[in-house]
A and B are shown apart, each in its own frame.
Chain A
Amino acid sequence: MTQAIKQALDRVTRISGVRGALVVTGDDGLIVADAVMENIRGDAVAALAASFAGRMSRACYATGVGVPHFVQLQAANGTLLVMPAADVVIVVVADKDVNVGLVRLEMLHAAELVP
Chain B
Amino acid sequence: MKQTRAVEPWMMEPLERFVTEADARLTLIMTPSGQVLAQHGFTRAVDIMAAAALGAAIVSSTREIASAIGENGFRALNHQGVRHGVFLSETDTPRGRLLALVVYGSESSVGLVQLFFEDLARELNEACPQEIPQKAVISANFERELNESLASLFGR
Majority secondary structure, A binding face: helix
Majority secondary structure, B binding face: helix
Q: Please indicate the chain B residues that have their CB under 8 angstroms from the CB of A50 in the complex.
A: 109, 111
Q: Residue A4 at the B interface, CB < 8 A?
A: no
A27-71 vs B, CB cutoff 8 Å, 1 = contact: the mask equals: 111100000000000011011101100100000000000000000
Q: Residue B115 at the A interface, CB < 8 A?
A: yes
CB within 8 Å: A-B pair count: 35
Q: Bound state CA distance, A95 and B114, in angstroms?
A: 27
Q: Residue B110 at the A interface, CB < 8 A?
A: yes
Q: Please indicate the chain A residues that have their CB under 8 angstroms from the CB of B111 in the complex.
A: 24-25, 28-30, 43, 46-47, 50-51
Q: Please indicate the chain B residues that have their CB under 8 angstroms from the CB of A25 in the complex.
A: 111
Contacting residue for B115 out of A27, A47, A54, CB 8 A: A47
Residues of A with Cβ closer than 8 Å to B? 24-25, 27-30, 43-44, 46-48, 50-51, 54
Interchain residue pairs A-B with the least CB separation, the first 8? A29-B111, A47-B111, A29-B109, A47-B115, A47-B112, A28-B110, A30-B111, A28-B109
